[in-house]
Amino acid sequence: MSAPSAGGASRDGYGKALLRLSEDPRVVVLEADLGKSTKSCLFRAEFPERTVSLGIAEQNMMLVAAGMASSGKVPFASTFAIFTERAFEQVRNGISRPGLAVHICGSHGGIHTGTDGSSAQSIEDLAIYRTIPGLTVITPCDDLSAEELTVQLLDHGNASYTRTARNKTPRMYDSETVNNLKIGKGSVLREGSDVAIVACGVMVSEAIEAAKMLEGEGVSASVIDMHTIKPLDTNLLDDIRAECDGIVTAEDHSIIGGLGSAVAEYLSTTGGYPIQMVGVKDRFGESGESSDLMHHMGLTRNEIAAKARNIVNSV
Amino acid sequence: MEGRAEGMDMSIPELEELANVCRKHIVKMIHKAGAGHPGGSLSAIDIIAGLYGTRLRFNVDDPDWEDRDRFVMSKGHASPAVYSILREMGFLNDDDLSTFRALGSVCQGHVDMKWTDGVDFSAGSLGMGLSFGLGCALAARMDSSERETWVMVGDGEVQEGQIWEALMAADFHDVSGLKLIVDRNRIQNDDFVNVQMEVGDVASKIESFGWNVKEINGHDMEEIVGALEWASSAGSGPSAIIAHTVKGKGVSFMEDNPSFHGKAPNDEELALALEELS
């Protein structure tokens, strides 16, 4: 498919999804002072009586959400991705362990966050949340898919963590194709036979561009939007293994513990397969315009294409 | 099936007897398991007996009855106190108690709503229960339900910053349905609270956060029942009872003794304890 040019930030999709979900009276929204940033402010403006402001106190917010879930509500609690990490143990012990369906959204995920600097650029959230039993981990690539995947959480039944991005990215879906998305099922955006680029979040559009570059060099690359990191779509990985020579993973996240690790864990324990990873190379970010910084950190189409060439050339 | 509109109406002597029966369950189940927390269970049990015997509305035949009052045991290591009262209320039986801490038991080491009917919170990590209770109380208000949420925390637990986040938020949201009981037994895991990090005048501190506050002797059943009634009718805003208690209360050699925070009695100690409680 060709990528529509119009774009939005995935956090905008989250905000719109909350409004769509508002029809269900069980839905409540919890904020920790960053509603204008996460876009839960859209829900607050329409439904203040179902919005709970908890101030800059993320640990409290997570357990308030758990208490509400135990009382029949469907809570959506959001703050910056990095600040959800402050309440990691609350998510583990207070939400996931009792099996309460609280939906956490961490916005401003990754290096893509840009000028705020390294304190705000969470590059470990996918890794840590992936270790919690029963917690679904999602990182959509654009505003439309963020909206669709968030709406699907309503009857998801277990707790989830969704990472959204601060800045706009090109749309990978349109109002029709987005309806094909399903939590837990990777989305094939481009078919290819030599190498597969399995990407998530803001790196999906870079993966598409990398595939175009490779096409000019005679390398056929497929592109997967692996929006759900957990549960991982292992059936799709099996298909890729049967069709391509190897996988390049691409994520705006540490190469330790995130999408690349999840893919590698599955493939290496089920027979082995060439894998190259694009991600943050075990270092913190810094301030910079988003695009400058992404280049500086190696989170680019060029990096993806280079890794793909490594695979193709080594076969 | 509908639950009771009102809590049970046990008399003071009945409540005292109930607490004593629970004390025997507590020491027996910890002895059998060879592990557990007798000190904080024994300090809390008079208040818990008073709560279940007079105020709490629940339904043994329908543990998930949505309009039940919630009891959030945040100091979840004192689980034997909860299991003993659930035994006396009919949620658990003696066989359940005898499997405390064993593989597959409904009586997990720390109270866990996923494992036990009648338990409303999964505890074990201190400092989280008041926030959870606040969520329950906010949901009740949104539902226009009169159900109450009772949260019990320990005094060592008050050292956790999240407690103060929740205290602040409960006042801001003016949540009258939220009731807090602080088991002020002055001892935590390693030593006395005033050695580890004294929490001081907890009553004044919580009052300064905008709560209605009452201090009581947590082993005087008349005072307990009076304070529970006061908390249910204290008017606007959340209410807290600071219950001054004795760790290990009822078993002489466990009383005020930090070494029985988390240690099981041996055979001889169990016999002595049961003799004192008979």
Q: Could you tell me if A49 lies within 8 Å of chain B, comparing CB atoms? A: yes
Judge whether B117 is closer than 8 Å to chain A, CB to CB: no
Q: Are A219 and A197 in contact (CB under 8 A)?
A: no
Q: In chain A, which among 78-97 make CB contacts under 8 A with chain B?
A: 89-90, 93-94, 97
**pLDDT for residue B1:** 35
Question: Which amino acid would we find at residue B160?
Answer: E
Question: What's the rounded Cα separation, in Å, for the pair A125 and A80?
Answer: 11
Give the Cα separation of B112 and B130 in Å (integer): 16
What is the ipTM score, two decimals?
A: 0.93
State whether residue A21 sits within 8 Å of chain B by CB: no
User: Hey, what domains does chain A have and what are their CATH numbers?
Assistant: 7-170 (3.40.50.970), 183-314 (3.40.50.920)
Is residue A276 packed enough to be buried (19+ CB in 10 Å), middle (13-18) or exposed (0-12)? buried
Q: Which of A160, A199, A214 is nearest to A17 (CA)?
A: A160
Beta strands in A19-111 (DSSP E): 27-31, 51-53, 74-80, 103-107
Whether residues A62 and B131 touch (CB distance < 8 A) is answered with yes
- A10 pLDDT higher than 80: yes
Q: Average pLDDT of B243-256?
A: 98
Interface test with B, best of A62, A63, A68, A89 (most B CBs within 10 A): A63
Where are the extended beta strands (E) located within chain A? 7-8, 27-31, 51-53, 74-80, 103-107, 136-138, 160-163, 169-170, 187-190, 195-199, 221-225, 228-230, 246-254, 275-280
B36 touches B264 (CB < 8 A): yes
What is the rounded CA–CA span in Å between residue A185 and residue A264? 17
The full length of chain B comes to 278
Tell me the average pLDDT across A142-151: 98
* pLDDT on residue B4: 46
CB-nearest to B165 from A57, A66, A94 is: A57
Written as one letter, the residue type at A99 is: G
**Residue numbers in B near A98 (CB within 8 A):** 112-114, 121-122
Residue B223 in contact with partner chain A when CB distance is under 8 A: no
**8 A C-beta contact, residue A208 and residue A215:** no
Contacts with A55 from chain B: Cβ below 8 Å: 165, 168-169, 172
Judged against a pLDDT cut of 80, whether residue A110 lies above it is answered with yes
For A165-170, what is the mean pLDDT? Answer: 94
Using CB atoms, pick whichever of A50, A59, A72 lies closest to residue B66: A72
Is pLDDT of A4 > 60? Answer: no
Q: Per-residue pLDDT for A1 more than 50?
A: no
Task: Assess whether the previous peptide bond of A231 is cis (omega < 30° from 0).
Answer: yes
d(CA B19, CA B21): 5
DSSP B132: H
Rounded percentage of chain B residues whose pLDDT exceeds 70: 98
Q: How distant is the Cα of A76 from the closest Cα of chain B, in angstroms?
A: 13
Angle at CA B212, nearest 5°, toward B209 and B215? 105
Q: Which residues of A touch B125 (CB under 8 A)?
A: 89, 93-94
Least Cα separation, residue A266 to chain B (angstroms)? 30
Q: What is the DSSP letter of B221?
A: H
pLDDT surpasses 80 at A315: no
d(CA A79, CA A76): 10
- Class in CATH terms, B18-277: alpha beta
Give residue-wise pLDDT tens across range B53-87. 999 999 999 999 999 999 999 999 999 999 999 99
Burial A193-224 (b: 16+ CB within 10 A, else e): ebbbbbbbbbbbbbbbbbbebbeeeebbbbbb
pLDDT at A271 over 90: no
CB contact under 8 Å between B125 and A52, yes or no, is: no
Q: Output the pLDDT for position B7.
A: 84
Which of B165, B168, B171, B209 should we substitute to test contact with A (largest number of A Cβ atoms within 10 Å)?
A: B165
Query: Strand pairing partners for A7?
Result: A170
Interface check B114 vs A, CB under 8 A: yes
Instruction: Give the containing element (helix H, strand E) for B242.
Output: strand B239-244
Q: Does B135 touch chain A (CB under 8 A)?
A: yes
Contact B114/A97, CB-based, under 8 Å?
yes
pLDDT, tens digit, for every residue of B130-154? 999 999 999 999 999 999 999 999 9
Residues of A serving a catalytic function are 58
Comparing alpha-carbon positions, the chain B residue that sits nearest to A65 is B135
| HSE, side-chain direction, 13 A CA sphere, residue A237 | 29
Is some CB atom of chain A closer than 8 A to the CB atom of B146?
A: no
Q: In this predicted structure, what is the pLDDT of residue A31?
A: 97
Tokens of A119: 């304190």
- C-beta neighbour count of A288 within 10 angstroms: 16
pLDDT of residue A45: 97
Residues in chain A: 315
Q: Is the pLDDT of residue A107 over 70?
A: yes
Whether residue B50 has pLDDT greater than 60: yes
What are the pLDDT digits (tens) for A279-304?
A: 999 888 888 899 999 999 999 999 99
Which residues in chain B (29-88) have CB-CB distances under 8 A to chain A? 66, 70, 72
Query: Rounded to whole angstroms, how far apart are CA atoms B198 and B196?
Result: 6
Q: Which two tokens stand for residue B54?
A: 């007079």
Mean pLDDT of B100-124: 96
- pLDDT number for residue B235: 80
Q: For a pLDDT cut of 90, what percent of chain B falls above it?
A: 96
The average pLDDT across A50-67 equals 98
